[in-house]
Structures are given as structure tokens and as C-alpha cells.
Chains A and B, each alone.
Chain A
């Protein structure tokens, strides 16, 4: 007897059985009683069900986030929180500042508080450490493309495809030298950016001069980075930055130095934000499905929590596609293109 057979016999969906077991309060009393009766009749007892409904759960999931200051991270958090609320769970929030020590302390704290699951956003924890947590019975999901995170369930935004499309957009204007400004704190994103960038250049079969740079995420860092670049007199024709802060800093530095964007320097960002659309010229950027990513992470996590002993497989990896928001900072001059890529 398995959950599918029980569902069939009770005339309800598998999801309903799962809800009767995990969130009985959310199921119509008559449906719940009927399902429980069928289970009893069929002698169906999932292991943990034998221990009693919801026994040993704290109805709390934890969230480890490296930088709460970033708007993208805020939307990821909001997405996870939305799903948790839909499920009747509270979120235990840890801001790790991208610091390995704080990450370790936070994970320890989560274990002590017996949270029911943990979402790790781009953490740098050792694989063995995370495996240890999972083996203690706490399911984990990783947000970000890191296959060595110790989580077998992960979800991420396809930055490779995003960088590929952004680069192709720039190539369509005929730029011959393009630089990539990474944020080395975001290792996985940087690796994907480089791959997509290289793919687009290779595919173009043109002689393109490429350069790899790096600076921190803030507007200030972007500004200083661009100033240095301009002083060295080696400005490429186009720059793609990892974050919107970097792009805004570069734009400001260019304006202060009377370098017009996009005529002298085309600019694009791998991360869109409301400000990107407000500056002059508005910055072409990738709209990241960050809140959807958070919701996906939340759902994968709850699947792992609820399916622990229901033996329902969950997909191991989920990838979401960003959207290219074409504005004016790369050379596009047609309003209609801004509407629809």
C-alpha cells in the first residue's frame, strides 16, 4: 500500500493525502475523516505518521542569506516567506553577510532550534557540513547554481543564458571590445556569466576583444572601478556588470568624466532594479525572477519536508529564465524594442 493507492481508493489526489498528513487543519473535516478512515482500513501508516501527526515539528523553516541589502535577495526572501505563510510556517531568518564563520554559526543555531528545513542562499558552507545537517534529518535546498553545496535539491536563475543574450544584444550594435565586470563574492553567478559571455562571442565568429574585471557590488565600488579604468585609458566599447549597483556607479563615473553612454561606452547590467529604468540613459538589464526563485526554493523545501517519508520523488534542480529588458544604454533607440524583447 502506498500513498498513490490510498489516494485512488479514497477518491482524492495525492496532494490531498499529503495535506491530511502534514496540514490536517487545512483540509475539509469530512475529507480528512474520509481519508483517515481509508488509511486505517488499508492499514496505511507512514513511519512518522505512527508517531503522531506533526509530532516533533516546529513549523519553522530557516533561511540563510548572504546580503540582505540587495534587492534581489530581498525578493528571494519574500518569495520563500510567501510560500511558508501559505503553508502555515514561520521563517527563521539569518543574515550571514557572506561570512563563512557566521554561516557556520547560523547553521548550528538552526539545528539547535530544530527547524523543519533550511534554505541556503548562495552559501559557502563545506559540502560535508551541509550533508551532516541533512543526515540529522533537516532537509536543505540551495539557491544558486552550486552542485557542491551538499544539497541535492537546488534552484537557480540561468545567468549563463542571460549573459549570452545580453552579449548578443551588444554584439548586434557592432561593439568590438566588451568587458565583463563580475562580483567575485558571487562565485557561481560569475562562472555562469563568463560562460554565457564566451558562448555568445564564440558563436558570433568575430574578432572581439574581451576583458574580465571584478569589483564589489556597491555603487561606490562601480564608480571607483570605472574611474580607474578611464584613467588607464583602456576603456572598452561596452561593459556588462553583474549588479545594478556597479552599473549605476559606472554610469555616474562616465557622466562625471564626460563620457557619453552609450555613444562612447555602452552599458548593461545582469541585474535589473527600479533605478535602472529611472536614470539617464535608462540601463538595459536582465529582469531576474527573484521572487519566483524564492517561491521555487520554498516549494522544493516543503516538498522535501512533506515527502520525507512519503517516497514521492522531487526534481533535483530547477532553473528559471531571466528576461532581457532592453532600454537605451546599449545603443537601442526604438521605444518599441523596450517594450518587447
Chain B
């Protein structure tokens, strides 16, 4: 077992949190997250006025997932009795809240504190719903907004950020000054699954929140950028499913990671598997404390301007005679006419190669390398 981590002054038994969402929509489902071993569970977003669900609200296309879900459909009073039934044991409970004004948020914050929340996550930027719902469009107010919550409670407050909010230094500064101790990033990206061109209709009735593995690269970059912009702790979220994913984020400076769509794709078991694999990986590499790898990958990042222009050339390391009908990635992708097929086999003209790296990183067999 690795050491507990510290999130906003709260000891978490591990760095794995379940994100705000329908997998934590009531007492029973929160208990399932706890029983699966999550270090902390974030409730589905609690509001003053329960939202009725629309149907359908989930749109899946292969592994692409979109949702049109906004907030919990339970009343505050129902949340009170739901949370009463939760046996937290050694897990922590974080309540996600949303409100339209500072006083509304402050009220909800004090309410959920009394219901036993160990911390609060303010949802400011749901990609679904109109612009009004999104506090991050009123950035002048965000300071007052977060401050009202911070001052209303004695438990720590974190803020869940959209991609746009997360990469705005001024916005982050306002949140930090207001007393938030951590940020979660990124919220779902606004997306549409597609348009049915025959009926000329969008495939969804409104914008959805695009989640899952495709947003992970965006979230990775956001985590690194957040580490650059702010001292606040970071809870990374966006397409995380495996221990390797979690480690990537932690190595970019995340304090903890949040699981979201993965629970919907694979069930609650994905939580325990990730925690188990994470422990195994750390133990297998001789680490007893996640701190030993936190931020470890950050020094490998540099500004684009600092990358020295060096020309490398592609070379093929093995015989490739995959039929032209099966694979042409390297040939089609080479804008410099450096790759040809001779007698059915791939050949690279080193003199013509510009070293762009497309063929070496795209080769399904991994037999093209970039060398000097």
C-alpha cells in the first residue's frame, strides 16, 4: 500500500476520486464508489432546484460519448436522507454544487457541509445548457462567487473548470485569490455527435458534453498548463481509465485523478482495478509514496521556441511488404516523396526525408525509426 495523499488538507487513502456524475447520483451509488475503494467520491451536482432528466441523454458512437445531463434530479431534502445512509468508512465525500449567484452557492455550500461533506466542488462551467448556466462567462463575478462559498464553510473548496476556464491565467488567479484550494480539470468539452445530412438534422437536440478517451490529450495538456499557472492543487479528469493514465497525469503534476465516463463504460469495477494496478505499478517500481513520481515528467517539457531545429531522417529497420491494399500510411503521409514501394517493399530515400516523424510514429508495425 502506498502512503495516503493530501488533497486540500484532507488525507485521502489513495489518489483516485470518482468525478461528479450519475454514478454518484444517490446514497446507493455513492456507496458503490466507496465500496470499490475510491479515495473520495464526488456527488452528482446538487442544486437548489432539482432538474428533471431528459431522455435520451446519452449518445454513444463507438467509444465517443456525449451526454446532455445537467445536475442532480434530487431535492436537497432527498440528498440529506440519501447521504445519511452512506457509510463513508475511510473514504471522503465531496459534494458538487451549482448555483446562479454567490448567495445561492454560499447557501448550498453551508447546506452540504452540514450534510457531512468533507469538501466542496463548485461546478462553474457545464458545457450543456445555455450560457447563463455557466459562471465562467461572468469572470468578473467569479471571485465573489468562489469567495462566498469559501467563507460560508469551514471545509475546503475546489472548483471544476472547463477547458476554456482552465487555460485562462486571470480566471485561475481570481479563483485562487478567492480561497479555492484546488481545481478539477477538465469538464466535458462542448460537442455534437454529428448531423444526419439526409434529414438535415443534428443527431442530438442540443449541445452535449463530449467525454471519454478522446479528450484525454486535451486534459493532459491542461494539467501541465495548470501546473505552470497556479499553485492550487490539481484533480485531473478527462478520459482516465487505467493506472497508466492516472500516472501520466500525476507525472504532469496532478495531485489526484477523477474517474468519470470509464465508470459508465466498464462499471464500478474500473475503480478498484485502477487503484490496484496503480499500487502494483508503484510497488513494482520501488515507490512507496506517490509524491516520488508526482511532476516527474514536467522537466521533460519545454517551450516550443526552445526546441533546437535538428534534422533527423527516417530509416526502415525491417523488411515491409504489407500489401498496398492493407497499409499505405507512410507512403500517403510523406509529403516529401521520400518513401516509395519498390517490388512490393517499402524503401526510404534518406536524402529526401525531412524528418517530420509521421511515418515513424504512425507505422503500425513500428519498424520505422528516426535517426541522425
Say whether A associates with B.
yes
Q: Which of A27, A83, A318, A320 has the most CB of B within 10 A?
A: A318
Q: How far is the CB of A89 from chain B (nearest CB, A)?
A: 11
A28 to B82, CA, bound (A): 11
Interface size of B as a range: 20 to 34
B104 touches which one: A28, A314, A318, A323 (CB < 8 A)?
Answer: A318
Cβ of A14 within 8 Å of any chain B Cβ, yes or no, is: yes
State whether A296 touches B48 (Cβ < 8 A). yes
B100 touches which one: A27, A79, A320 (CB < 8 A)?
Answer: A320
State whether B75 touches A86 (Cβ < 8 A). yes
Q: How far is the CB of B186 from chain A (nearest CB, A)?
A: 20
Which residues in chain A, 96-149, are within 8 Å of chain B measured between CB atoms?
Answer: none
What per-residue 1/0 map shows which CB atoms of B192-229 lie under 8 Å from chain A? 00000000000000110000000000000000000000
State whether B114 touches A339 (Cβ < 8 A). no
Which residues in chain B, 96-130, are within 8 Å of chain A measured between CB atoms?
Answer: 100-101, 103-104, 106-107, 110-111, 113-116, 130
State whether A13 touches B84 (Cβ < 8 A). yes
How many residues of chain A are within 8 Å of chain B by beta carbon? 37
Residues in B neighbouring A13, C-beta threshold 8 A: 83-84, 114-116
Whether A339 touches B206, Cβ cut-off 8 Å, given contacts A296-B104, A315-B107, A321-B101, is yes
Q: How far is the CB of A308 from chain B (nearest CB, A)?
A: 16
What per-residue 1/0 map shows which CB atoms of A295-337 lie under 8 Å from chain B? 1100110000000000010110111110110000000000000
Chain A residue nearest to B117 (CB atoms) is A13
A295 to B50, CA, bound (A): 10
State whether B104 touches A320 (Cβ < 8 A). yes
Q: How far is the CB of A190 from chain B (nearest CB, A)?
A: 21
Cβ of A16 within 8 Å of any chain B Cβ, yes or no, is: yes
What per-residue 1/0 map shows which CB atoms of A1-27 lie under 8 Å from chain B? 000000000001111101100000011
A292 touches which one: B49, B78, B83, B110 (CB < 8 A)?
Answer: B49
Q: How far is the CB of B26 from chain A (nearest CB, A)?
A: 15
State whether A315 touches B106 (Cβ < 8 A). yes
A192 to B132, CA, bound (A): 20
Cβ of B77 within 8 Å of any chain A Cβ, yes or no, is: yes
What per-residue 1/0 map shows which CB atoms of B62-85 lie under 8 Å from chain A? 000000000000011110110111
State whether A341 touches B132 (Cβ < 8 A). yes
What per-residue 1/0 map shows which CB atoms of A49-71 lie under 8 Å from chain B? 00000000000000000000000
State whether A27 touches B110 (Cβ < 8 A). no
Residues in A neighbouring B130, C-beta threshold 8 A: 323, 339-341
A15 touches which one: B49, B103, B115, B207 (CB < 8 A)?
Answer: B115
Residues in A neighbouring B84, C-beta threshold 8 A: 12-13, 15-16, 19, 27-28, 31
State whether A19 touches B80 (Cβ < 8 A). yes
Cβ of A81 within 8 Å of any chain B Cβ, yes or no, is: no
Residues in A neighbouring B132, C-beta threshold 8 A: 321, 323-324, 341
Chain A residue nearest to B102 (CB atoms) is A319
What per-residue 1/0 map shows which CB atoms of B313-343 lie under 8 Å from chain A? 0000000000000000000000000000000
Residues in B neighbouring A292, C-beta threshold 8 A: 48-49
Cβ of B282 within 8 Å of any chain A Cβ, yes or no, is: no
Cβ of A158 within 8 Å of any chain B Cβ, yes or no, is: yes
Cβ of B131 within 8 Å of any chain A Cβ, yes or no, is: yes
Cβ of B348 within 8 Å of any chain A Cβ, yes or no, is: no
State whether A319 touches B103 (Cβ < 8 A). yes
Cβ of B174 within 8 Å of any chain A Cβ, yes or no, is: no
Cβ of B152 within 8 Å of any chain A Cβ, yes or no, is: yes
A110 to B103, CA, bound (A): 29
A320 to B98, CA, bound (A): 12
Q: How far is the CB of B92 from chain A (nearest CB, A)?
A: 13
B49 touches which one: A19, A295, A317 (CB < 8 A)?
Answer: A295
Chain B residue nearest to A294 (CB atoms) is B49
State whether A341 touches B103 (Cβ < 8 A). no
State whether B100 touches A321 (Cβ < 8 A). yes
State whether B49 touches A315 (Cβ < 8 A). no
Residues in A neighbouring B83, C-beta threshold 8 A: 13, 15
Residues in B neighbouring A319, C-beta threshold 8 A: 101, 103-104
| 12 A-B pairs in the complex with CB atoms less than 8 angstroms apart | A12-B116, A13-B115, A28-B85, A79-B49, A83-B75, A83-B77, A158-B101, A315-B110, A320-B48, A320-B100, A340-B207, A341-B130
- Residues of B at under 8 Å CB distance from A? 48-49, 75-78, 80-81, 83-85, 100-101, 103-104, 106-107, 110-111, 113-116, 130-132, 152, 206-207
The 10 closest A-B pairs by CB, nearest first: A13-B116, A86-B77, A321-B100, A292-B49, A14-B114, A15-B114, A15-B115, A318-B103, A323-B132, A340-B130
Q: A318-B101, A319-B101 are in contact. List 4 more A-B contacts (CB 8 A).
A: A14-B114, A15-B114, A321-B100, A341-B130
